Structures are given as structure tokens and as C-alpha cells.
């Protein structure tokens, strides 16, 4: 039996490597997004802590310097939160683009794998047909070799 060799094996190998690269790209994008989410959560936690501290410090006498510091710190945290949210939006867009590229690479690989499967089925069918032809030929020869000579009609 002849050995099966997929005619586009090299292309399939390249597609698999491309898919792996796209999966790594997606994983990196997800990791960046997670780091950004952690940073955003830290900033929001800092803001919550600042607001809590500010409300506690407002008991009794009002200190204008402390109020100005709290106000400046709150503005800085709010600006940082805004930047982090903008960055998060950009990272989510980049992650979605990376996901789409990974899906497309997987689709391209699956198309070639399906083609390989079809070629393998065709190969097996041809080999089975050849083997069946050989078996039929052997059987025909065996029947011919063991058959009785024809009876003469002159008797």
C-alpha cells in the first residue's frame, strides 16, 4: 500500500504555526487587559479610601489645607481613572482584534485539515479499489486454473 502524503502539508504546518502565533498574541492582549483592570481597580480603591478618609476628617473643625489636598488628590485619582478607562477601552479593542485574527487563523487551519481528511479518504478509496482489483484478478486466475476443460460437443 502506498503511503499517504498530504499535498499541502507544508501549508498546513505554516497555518498551524500562524494559529499558534495568533493564540499567543491573544493571550498577551488578555494579560495586558487584566493588568489594566487591576490598575483601574487599585485607583478606584484609592479613590474610595480617599473619600472615606475625607468624610472622617470633616468632623469638627474644617482644615482648608487638608480640604485642598483632598480635592487635588481626588482630581488626580479621577484623571487617572479616566486614563485607565480609556486605556482599558483601547486594550479591549486590541484584544477583540486579536481574537478575530485567532479565529480566522483557526478557520484557515480547519479548512486545510478538512482538505487533508478528504484527500486521505480518496487515497484509502483508491488503495482499496486497487487491492480489490488485485483480489478479483487472483480469484479469476484461480478459477481459471482449476476449472474443467470444456467438454467436446462431438460425442
Q: How confident is the model at residue 141 (pLDDT cuts 50, 70, 90)?
A: confident
Tens digit of pLDDT for each residue in 5-58?
A: 888 999 999 999 999 999 999 999 999 999 999 999 999 999 999 988 888 777
Question: Would you tell me how many other CB atoms lie within 10 Å of the CB of residue 73?
Answer: 15
pLDDT band of residue 67 (cuts 50, 70, 90) is confident
Residue 76 corresponds to which cell in the numbers above? 488626580
Query: Could you tell me the sign of the dihedral formed by the alpha carbons of 103, 107, 110, 112, in that order?
Result: negative
Give the three-class secondary structure for 116: helix
pLDDT over threshold 90, residue 152: no
Question: What is the rounded distance in angstroms from the CA atom of residue 105 to the CA atom of residue 112?
Answer: 11
Domain ranges of the chain: 9-111
Per-residue pLDDT tens digits for 19-30: 999 999 999 999
Amino acid at each position: 500500500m502506498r503511503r499517504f502524503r498530504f499535498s499541502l502539508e507544508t501549508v498546513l504546518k505554516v497555518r498551524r504555526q500562524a494559529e499558534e502565533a495568533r493564540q499567543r498574541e491573544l493571550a498577551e492582549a488578555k494579560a495586558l487587559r487584566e493588568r489594566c483592570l487591576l490598575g483601574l481597580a487599585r485607583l478606584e480603591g484609592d479613590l474610595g479610601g480617599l473619600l472615606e478618609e475625607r468624610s472622617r476628617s470633616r468632623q469638627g473643625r474644617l482644615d482648608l489645607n487638608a480640604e485642598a489636598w483632598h480635592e487635588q488628590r481626588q482630581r488626580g485619582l479621577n484623571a487617572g481613572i479616566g486614563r485607565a478607562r480609556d486605556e482599558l477601552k483601547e486594550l479591549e479593542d486590541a484584544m477583540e482584534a486579536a481574537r478575530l485574527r485567532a479565529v480566522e487563523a483557526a478557520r484557515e487551519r480547519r479548512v486545510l485539515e478538512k482538505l487533508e481528511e478528504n484527500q486521505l479518504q480518496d487515497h484509502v478509496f483508491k488503495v482499496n479499489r486497487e487491492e480489490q482489483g488485485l483480489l478479483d484478478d487472483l480469484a479469476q486466475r484461480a478459477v481459471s486454473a482449476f476449472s474443467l476443460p470444456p467438454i467436446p460437443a462431438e460425442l
